[in-house]
Amino acid sequence: MSDPSAVSGRETTARPSRASLRTAVVWDVLKDALDRRVKATGKDSLDVLDTGGGSGNFAVPAARLGHRVTVVDPSPNALFALGRRAAEAGVADRVRGVQGDIRGLFDVVDREGFDIVLCHGVLEYVDDPAEGVRNAAAALRPGGSLSLLAAGLGGAVLARALAGHFTEARHALGDPAGRWGEGDPVPRRFTAEQLSGLAAGAGLDVGSVHGVRVFADLVPGVLVDTEPGAAEALMRLEAAAAELPSFHAVASQLHVLGEKQA
């Protein structure tokens, strides 16, 4: 299982961090998409767009693999942190930060200018998720891939129920946006079918669907941090469950990879 914090994307023998437990499944899918695109195009260095990419959790590891990454984010603070992180990783020449958002995407980047587009943690917060996915898809070159990552409805319901907030869990089940109440910090959540439908509606072929953080948010941190081998075993369990549709319904996040027809 790859860790996006590992230099050049190689397997790491270091003990998995809590952060890597939450991102490893997505990074493995993304790394595979990058590798397939390299083979398809014959180019060693791809153009990658990370919308809402923040401080570079995925952008910097992608740049370490030799790709050129443009991060579009509305937060100046996040872009400042991105620049510092890229410099510390020695990839400042391959990472470019631009202030903007998915709605006005083509005010700051070109249409069909990228081989891979990431749209992670964005659709929950935009007014029109379908428009956001269409814009992300329009930034792809033919044959490119779009990586969508968004909050899952079932994971939130399960988490509220396990915390003893049964009324909130039931409210989220019936709420059109999947919110558990007025105090919910997440404006919108999705089912796997909804997220796949957004990708298909933007003209993409849905290549894979994965459940992310199926167990990682539910397992007590003290167990993972103190039990020998627990973190590695949990990471393997996450990978095994990620592709099974039965676990998509309880994942904290959902990941969809869509491909634009060549």
The rounded distance, in Å, linking the Cα atoms of 48 and 33 is 11
- Say which residue, 200 or 228, is predicted with more confidence: 200
Task: Say how many CA atoms lie within 13 Å of 260 toward its Cβ.
Answer: 23
What is the pLDDT at residue 16?
Answer: 52
* Confidence grade of residue 12 (pLDDT, cut at 50, 70, 90): very low
What is the pLDDT at residue 221?
Answer: 75
Q: pLDDT, tens digit, for every residue of 54-97?
A: 999 999 999 999 999 999 999 999 999 999 999 999 999 999 99
* Confidence grade of residue 230 (pLDDT, cut at 50, 70, 90): confident
- pLDDT for 6 beyond 70: no
- pLDDT for 7 beyond 80: no
* Confidence grade of residue 17 (pLDDT, cut at 50, 70, 90): low
Cβ burial, residue 220 (10 Å; 0-12/13-18/19+): exposed
- pLDDT for 13 beyond 50: no
What is the pLDDT at residue 241?
Answer: 93
Q: pLDDT, tens digit, for every residue of 110-157?
A: 999 999 999 999 999 999 999 999 999 999 999 999 999 999 999 999
Mean pLDDT over residues 198-222, rounded? 91
> Would you give the DSSP letter of residue 123?
T
Chain centre to alpha carbon of residue 1: 16
What is the pLDDT at residue 148?
Answer: 97
The owner of tokens 């959790």 is 57
- pLDDT for 188 beyond 80: yes
What is the pLDDT at residue 227?
Answer: 80
Residue 47 in 3-state DSSP? strand
Q: Shortest CA distance to 183 belongs to which of 194, 174, 199, 172?
A: 172
* Confidence grade of residue 4 (pLDDT, cut at 50, 70, 90): low
The rounded distance, in Å, linking the Cα atoms of 31 and 109 is 23
